[in-house]
Structure 1
Amino acid sequence: MIDPRRPEDDAPPPDLPYQLAWRSSEVRAGAHRGKREGAGGFFRDVAPLLRSPDPRRLDLRVSARDPFEGLHVRRFEQKATVTVYALVDVSASMGFRGASDKMRIAADLCAALASAVRRAGDAFGLIGCDAEVQKELTFLATRARGSEVEMLRRLRNFTPRGAGTGGMVDAAALVGGGRKVIFLISDFYMPRPEIEAIFGALARHDIIPIVLSDTAELERLPRWGLLSLTDLEVGRRRLVVMRPRLWEAWQRRSGRRRADLKSIAGRYGRTPFVVEDRIDWERLSGYLAGGVA
C-alpha cells in the first residue's frame, strides 16, 4: 500500500530539456536543430551565390580569396520543431498501487512533458494502449494551447483493466511517418517478443523508454511468509509460500527482464530511464539533456 506518511513527489522542474541527437526535417521554425537552410541557428558552411542565391549573407572575405572571383554566401541551419508523443501503457499491471501509484506517475510525467513541449513550440500528442488502442485516450499531436488539459484529465481518471500491450504496435500507425520523439511509458511487464515488436514498430522514431517500477511488487517482498498475490493482467489470485530460493529466483527473473529491455532499447538508440516509486526530476532532466540514465 502507498504510505500516507511518505511525502509527495517533488514538483517538476520549470522545463524538461529534451535534446535531440538528430536533425528535424520539419519546415516550421522551432527550437531544435534542423536539416533545412534558414535565417538563424548554427553556421553550416559557405556556398557559391548561384547555389544559394541570398546576397544578404555575402561573405566578402571568402569571396575575395576565390581565385575565380566567384561570390560566396554564408549558410545557416534553420532551427525546427518536432512532434512529441507520449505512448502510455494502460494495461492492468499499471493499476498496481504499492509504494507508488503508477498511473498517477504516468500522468505527472505527461503533464510535465506537455508543458515543456508547449514552451518549445512543438506539437504534443498522447495515446494510451493495452491490448488495443484506447479511443478515449487517443489524442493526435497538436500545437493548440490548452489541448493537454483534456488529455491529462482522462489519463488521470482512467482505470487500467485490459490485458496485453499489443495496442502499442497498432499505435505506430497513428503516430505516422516522419521522425518523431516517442516517450514510451510502461512498467514493461511483458514478454521479450512483445517488447521487440513494440520497438520494431516504432523504429523510425526517437524512442525514449520510461520504466515505472514499484519496489512493493518485488524488492520489498519478504523472504519467508505466506503471500496472497494477484495477477492483475488475468485477475487471478493465488497463495504463495515465499522462501529464500523462490525469492532469489524471482529477483533473477526481474534482472533478466530489465537486461532484455536495456539490450533491446539500446539497439534503438536510448537506454531506459527507470522511475522507482517516485520521479527524480533532476535526474530525469539530466537524462533528457543527453546524460546517462
Structure 2
Amino acid sequence: MSDAAPGQGVPQVDVPYRLDWRAAGVRIGAHRGKVEGAGGLFRDHDLLVRSPDPRRIDLRMSLRDPFGNLYVKRFEQKTSVTVYALVDVSASMGFAGSVDKMGVVADLCGALAASARRIGDAFGLIGCDETIVPEFLLPATRSRGTEADMVANLRAFVPKGHGAEGLLEGASYLAGRRKLVFVVSDFYLPLDLIEAVFEALSQHDVIPIVLRDPRETRDLPRYGLVSLADLETGRRRLYAMRPSLRAALMREEAEAAKALRALAMRYGRPPFQVVGRIDWDRFGAYLMGDAA
C-alpha cells in the first residue's frame, strides 16, 4: 500500500476491501458472487439433469454414485459491486485544526474511487447537509475521468449547512441491489438521526468512518480560557478550562463513541475512527477484517 500525498490530487493508495456476502451482480469483477459462471471458485456438484452442461461432467464423482447418476462441477462467477461514499458535509465538517476534515474526506473518497475502479467496481458519492448537495450527487461509475474533479471539489468545499438530515435522503437514493456504503462523518449528530440513517441503509453493507481532529477535544489545555464553537449552530462559549472540565469533556466524547459503536454493531460493522490523517495500513487491515 503506497502513501498518499496530502492535498495533491487523487491519492495513489490501494484500499483493499473484502465482502463477507455474495454479490448478486452479473458483471465480472473481483468478489464472490451468487451467479454460476465458467470460471472462478469451485462451488459444488450438481446432477447433470439439473445443470445440463456436459462440458463440466466430473467422471470421478459420477463413478462413485451407486445409482449411475452423472454429476457436473459448478463454479462461482466472480462479480463486481457498487461502492458509495455517503458523506456528511454539514458545518461541523468544516473544522480545521491539525487537519482539514474536508481534505481528509477528499483523500478517502479519491482513494476509494481509484481502488474500486482498479478491480472493476463502480464508485459513487453523495454529500449531504440539510439536504443532498447537488454538486456532490455523483452516480456510481467506473470511469476514471471523474476522480480528479471529485477530489478537487471536496477539497475546495466550505461546509455551512446547519444539520445533516440530508443523509436520510441520500440513504433512500441508494435503494436497490446491495451495495458497499461508506458513511463518512464526524458523527456529531443526534443518535436518533444516526440510527435512522443506519436503518435506511440496513439492506447494504455499511462501513461508518468517524473523522476526528485532535484539537477538538484531545489537545485541550488543562488550564486557561478556551473559546469553543458549535459549528452547526454558530454559537460560541467561553470556558475556564480546568482538569475536571477537560476530563468531563473527554468522558463525554468516550461515551458518545461507545454509543456509536454499539449502534453500528447492531447494523453490521464497527466504526473506523480516523484521528487526524488516515493511517492507510490500519484502514486496510480494518477493511480486510484484521482489525476494528
TM-score surpassing 0.5? yes
Q: For 1:251-286, what per-residue CA distance to the aligned partner results, in whole angstroms no more than 9, with x for missing partners?
A: 111011100110011111111111111111111111
Residue 82 of structure 2 contacts residue 121 of structure 2 at CA under 8 Å; is this kept in 1? yes
SS at match of 1:257: helix
Whether 2:173 is the aligned partner of 1:174: answer yes
- Structure 2 letter corresponding to 1:56: R
CA offset at residue 153 of structure 1? 2.3
CA offset at residue 189 of structure 1? 0.6
Runs of 5+ unmatched residues, structure 2: none
Residue 129 of structure 1 contacts residue 167 of structure 1 at CA under 8 Å; is this kept in 2? yes
The residue correspondences of 1:75-224 to structure 2 (distance < 5 A) are 75-224=74-223
Runs of 5+ unmatched residues, structure 1: 1-6
Question: In structure 1, what is the Cα distance between the partners aligned to 2:281 and 2:267?
Answer: 24
Whether 2:257 is the aligned partner of 1:227: answer no
SS at match of 1:176: coil
CA offset at residue 8 of structure 1? 5.2
CA offset at residue 102 of structure 1? 0.6
Please name the residue that 2:25 is paired with. 26
Give RMSD over aligned pairs.
Answer: 1.7
Question: In structure 2, what is the Cα distance between the partners aligned to 1:147 and 1:71?
Answer: 51
Residue 226 of structure 1 contacts residue 242 of structure 1 at CA under 8 Å; is this kept in 2? yes
Question: In structure 2, what is the Cα distance between the partners aligned to 1:59 and 1:237?
Answer: 74
Question: In structure 2, what is the Cα distance between the partners aligned to 1:172 and 1:90?
Answer: 15
Whether 2:41 is the aligned partner of 1:54: answer no
So what's the TM-score if we normalise by structure 1?
0.94
**Number of equivalences:** 287
Question: In structure 2, what is the Cα distance between the partners aligned to 1:136 and 1:12?
Answer: 21
Residue 11 of structure 2 contacts residue 110 of structure 2 at CA under 8 Å; is this kept in 1? no
CA offset at residue 152 of structure 1? 2.1
Q: For 1:212-254, what per-residue CA distance to the aligned partner results, in whole angstroms no more than 9, with x for missing partners?
A: 1111010111121111222111112221111222212111110
Residue 128 of structure 1 contacts residue 138 of structure 1 at CA under 8 Å; is this kept in 2? yes
Residue 12 of structure 1 contacts residue 281 of structure 1 at CA under 8 Å; is this kept in 2? no
Please name the residue that 1:289 is paired with. 288
Residue 222 of structure 2 contacts residue 246 of structure 2 at CA under 8 Å; is this kept in 1? yes
SS at match of 2:51: coil
Overall identity of the aligned pairs, in %: 57
- Structure 1 letter corresponding to 2:202: A
- Structure 1 letter corresponding to 2:232: E
Residue 110 of structure 2 contacts residue 150 of structure 2 at CA under 8 Å; is this kept in 1? no
